[in-house]
Amino acid sequence: MAFKYIEHEADMGILGIGSTIGEAFEEGAKAMFGIMADLEKIEPKEEITVKCTAPGIEELFVEWLNALLAEKDIKEMLFSEFKVKIEKKNSSYILNGKARGEKLDQEKHQVKLEVKGATYSGLKFFERMEKGIKKYYIQCVVDV
């Protein structure tokens, strides 16, 4: 759907917007990786799987983003495409996600900023009706 950046004093706020909660998470991930590099230069050559759980949607968003950052560092990759499925089981939310990207190439990707982590600062999840269509919004601040 869409993502936006939110002004923040020292770090960077990101906002994911989607027609589903999963789509909002996908857009939030794009926003985070868009801080680091031009998404259009990151080819979806390889796919990784991410699974995380949390007691609430907001906490799950932070877990998702931090899991992606860990995979980025472990596999030395950047990601540009994401797919998320979220389900509630008992008192927890479970995210099964996929990220597609490629190995980091400094010349090709021209890394802009390093995102160190997603934080609970500015963390907010809400729904809004727009022209009769429900949209989901999820936001947080990432440490750069």
pTM score, whole prediction: 0.93
**CA distance readout (Å), 41 to 38, 47, 91, 106, 140:** 6, 16, 40, 11, 25
pLDDT for 5 equals 72
The two structure tokens encoding residue 1: 């759907």
Domain count within the chain = 1
The residues, ordered by sequence, that sit 6+ positions from 9 with a Cβ below 8 Å of its Cβ are none
How do residues 46-88 score in pLDDT, each as one tens digit? 999 999 999 999 999 999 999 999 999 999 999 999 999 999 9
What are the φ and ψ backbone dihedral angles of 123, each rounded to 5 degrees? Answer: -70, 125
DSSP symbols for the chain: -EEEEE--SSSEEEEEEESSHHHHHHHHHHHHHHHHS-GGGS---EEEEEEEEESSHHHHHHHHHHHHHHHHHHHTEEEEEEEEEEEEETTEEEEEEEEEEEE--HHHH-------EE-STT-EEEEEEETTEEEEEEEEEEE-
Question: Where in the sequence is the domain holding 72, given as residue range(s)?
Answer: 2-143
What is the chain's length? 144
Residue with tokens 């479970």: 94
The reported pLDDT for the residue numbered 8 is 61
Domain at 81, CATH number: 3.55.10.10
- Number of alpha carbons in the 13 Å side-chain half-sphere of residue 31: 28
pLDDT, averaged across the chain? 94
Residues 9-18 have pLDDT tens digits of 668 899 999 9
